Amino acid sequence: MIQKHLAAVLSAAAVLGACSASVAEPAADKAVLPANQLNSHWYADAEKVLQQAEQRQVNHKRGAAKNIILFLGDGMGISTVTAGRIFAGQQQGKSGEENLLSFERLPYSGLIKTYNTNQQVPDSAGTMSAIMTGVKTRAGVLSVDQNVLRGDCAGSRGHELNSALKLAALDGKGTGVITTARVTHATPGATYANVAERDWEYAAPKGCVDIAAQFVAFQPGNGLDLLMGGGRRNFLPENFTDKEGAHGKRMDGRNLVDEWKKRYAGGPLRAHYIADEKGFDKLDSAHTDKLLALFDPSHMHYEADRKNDKAGEPSLSQMTAKGIDLLQKHKDGYFLVIEGGRIDHANHAGNAYNALNETAEFARAVQVAMDKTDPRDTLIVVTADHSHSLTMSGYATRGNPILGLVVGNDAHGQPQEKPELAEDGKPYTTIHYANGKGYADLGDETDADARYDMPTRAGRIEHADVDTTAPGYHQEVLVPRDGETHSGEDVGIWARGPSADLLTGTHEQNLIFHVMVHAGGLLPE
Mean pLDDT over residues 110-135, rounded? Answer: 97
How confident is the model over 277-328, as pLDDT tens digits?
999 999 999 999 999 999 999 999 999 999 887 778 999 999 999 999 999 9
The secondary structure of 221-287, three-state, reads: HHCCCEEEEECHHHHCECCCECCCCCECCECCCCCHHHHHHHHHCCCCCCEEEECCHHHHHHCCHHH
The secondary structure of 281-328, three-state, reads: HHCCHHHCCEEEEECCCCCCCCHHHHHHCCCCCCCHHHHHHHHHHHHC
Mean pLDDT over residues 137-162, rounded? Answer: 96
* pLDDT for 24 beyond 70: no
* pLDDT for 18 beyond 60: no
What's the pLDDT score for residue 23? 40
Please give the DSSP secondary-structure letter assigned to residue 455. -
Mean pLDDT over residues 496-507, rounded? Answer: 94
Please give the DSSP secondary-structure letter assigned to residue 27. P
Instruction: Give the whole-angstrom CA distance, residue 380 versus residue 519.
Output: 11
pLDDT above 70 coverage of the chain, percent: 92
What's the pLDDT score for residue 174? 98
Cα torsion through 77, 55, 515, 65, rounded to 10 = -120
Among candidate residues 124, 156, 317, 389, the one labeled active-site is 124
What's the pLDDT score for residue 22? 42
What's the pLDDT score for residue 384? 98
* pLDDT for 378 beyond 80: yes
What's the pLDDT score for residue 74? 98
Q: Tell me phi and psi for residue 457, to 5 degrees.
A: -140, 90
Cβ atoms within 10 Å, residue 395: 11
Instruction: Give the whole-angstrom CA distance, residue 62 versus residue 498.
Output: 9
pTM of the model: 0.91
- Is-catalytic flag, 317? no
Indicate the fold that domain 70-389+485-520 takes in CATH.
Alkaline Phosphatase, subunit A (3.40.720)
Instruction: Give the whole-angstrom CA distance, residue 323 versus residue 290.
Output: 11
Instruction: Give the whole-angstrom CA distance, residue 436 versus residue 459.
Output: 10
Q: What is the mean pLDDT of the chain?
A: 92
Nearest to 379 by CA among 77, 63, 22, 102: 63
Nearest to 183 by CA among 212, 216, 223, 143: 212
pLDDT above 90 coverage of the chain, percent: 84
What's the pLDDT score for residue 464? 86
* pLDDT for 255 beyond 60: yes
* pLDDT for 27 beyond 70: no
* pLDDT for 94 beyond 90: yes
Q: Per DSSP, what are the bridge partners of residue 72?
A: 339, 383
How confident is the model over 453-494, as pLDDT tens digits?
999 999 999 998 999 999 999 999 999 999 999 999 999 999
What's the pLDDT score for residue 37? 67
DSSP string, 168-228: HHHTT-EEEEEEEEETTSHHHHHHH--BS-TT-SS---TTS--HHHHHHH--GGGS-SEEE
How confident is the model over 179-221, as pLDDT tens digits?
999 999 999 999 999 999 999 999 999 999 999 999 999 999 9
- Residue with the larger pLDDT of the pair 32 and 265: 265
Instruction: Give the whole-angstrom CA distance, residue 483 versus residue 347.
Output: 9
Residue 264 CA: distances (Å) to CA of 54, 151, 158, 209? 50, 33, 30, 21
Nearest to 144 by CA among 162, 124, 127, 120: 162
Q: Tell me phi and psi for residue 93, to 5 degrees.
A: 85, 10
Burial 288-319 (b: 16+ CB within 10 A, else e): bbbbbbbbbbbbbbbbbbbeeeeebbbbbbbb
